[in-house]
Copies of this chain bind each other. A is one copy, B any other.
Amino acid sequence: MSQNSFGQLFRFTTWGESHGRALGCVVDGCPPNLEISEAEVQSYLDKRKPGQSKFTTQRKEADAVQILSGVMPQDDGTLLTTGTPISMMIENTDQRSKDYSDIARRYRPGHADFSYDAKYGIRDYRGGGRSSARETAARVAAGAIARKVIPGVSIRGALVQMGPHKVNRDRFDWNSVNQNPFFCPDPVAAEQWAEELNRIRKAGSSVGAVIEVVAEGVPAGWGAPVYSKLDQDIASAFMSINAVKGVEIGNGFEAAEITGEDNADQIRMGNEGPRFLSNKAGGILGGISSGQPVVARFAVKPTSSILTPRQSITADGDEVDVMTKGRHDPCVGIRAVPIGEAMMACVLADHYLRHRGQIGERNI
């Protein structure tokens, strides 16, 4: 029952605060004999890294990962996992703690300041401390390892809504995702968003977003009833990400609006087995993967750090106005895309290993 661990057989534990010495994770349960490298983990961290465009926080962090354990260097320089825990560390470099001194005792509305104090009676207020989204760098590192566990599975994420603006599904193109600073799969929307977000950024405001993550290549049979459902763990994974307020599987809340006739994914026989005629279920039936692409979405609220003063109180009970002058993301949902991918990868790696332990050898 760890407060800071996620997963069962593929399980990672994260640690670190926004302005502490370092942050990192320990990945426990990675199978042996997988080839990994710091460079590959780094490539995923670079997607999440701040300061890559004017649309994300200007904090400068190299986010350089070190792999400290769990691997055996081979003669050719590659690293092979050994089945022992993989510890990864990222040192904090650009910390500017003084930026935060004035909010040490002020509760920023929408942030966890008040609730942390209520719980712990103490709080690292520097940059949000443990509740900072910097923790998600460790998730991305864990996700990079998870991908190696399930090499046949492709996991991709995209920003499908920014504020009230949804992408046009007819223009959905995975190739477009890495060609704009929003991970937007709709090149036309991307241009419109650029203009919009620039306006929001300059106004010191912020806006929410919806991220979609799709996993292809998941075979039928992962997941389990009743409290280890694959979709349940995806929901748990996504809701654990900072600022997430909603999660959907497949058609999600749309399912509430339609009839059983319209919601059914009918099945025919294809050349390679069952062929579903639609994917309203998002690739999961009864908590178990159906072989279709696993499709999930999550809603990220607008970052609460804005220039406009908001009413709040201090730890001493004084009424104050709070505004945020530091470096922040006008749409924190953008950087949530690689995080969502990482969490999906971790859930799937975990369920792959769990499936092996659930079934035994007879059914292989």
Contacts and interface: CB of A to CB of B under 8 A. Distances in A.
A312 B361 CA distance: 29
A286 B111 contact: yes
A153 to B, nearest CB: 13
Given A5-B2, A130-B84, A290-B115, A26 B15 contact: yes
A221 interface: yes
Contacts of A319: 268-269
Copy tally for this chain in the complex stands at 4
Interface in A238-276: 238-240, 242, 245-253, 255-261, 263-269, 273-274
Interface string A60-95: 000000101110100000001111111101000000
A306 interface: yes
Contacts of A109: 264-267
Nearest to A273: B317
Contacts of A304: 260, 263-264
Contacts of A66: 21
A163 B256 CA distance: 5
A116 B208 contact: no
Given A227-B5, A302-B258, A359 B247 contact: no
A183 interface: no
A291 B356 contact: no
A233 interface: yes
Interface string A1-35: 11111101101011111001111101011011110
Contacts of A130: 82, 84, 225-226
B225 A363 contact: no
Interface string A306-325: 10101111000111000000
Contacts of A115: 220-221, 223, 284-290
A281 interface: yes
B221 A269 contact: no
4 nearest A-B residue pairs (beta carbon): A112-B286, A31-B360, A357-B357, A118-B220
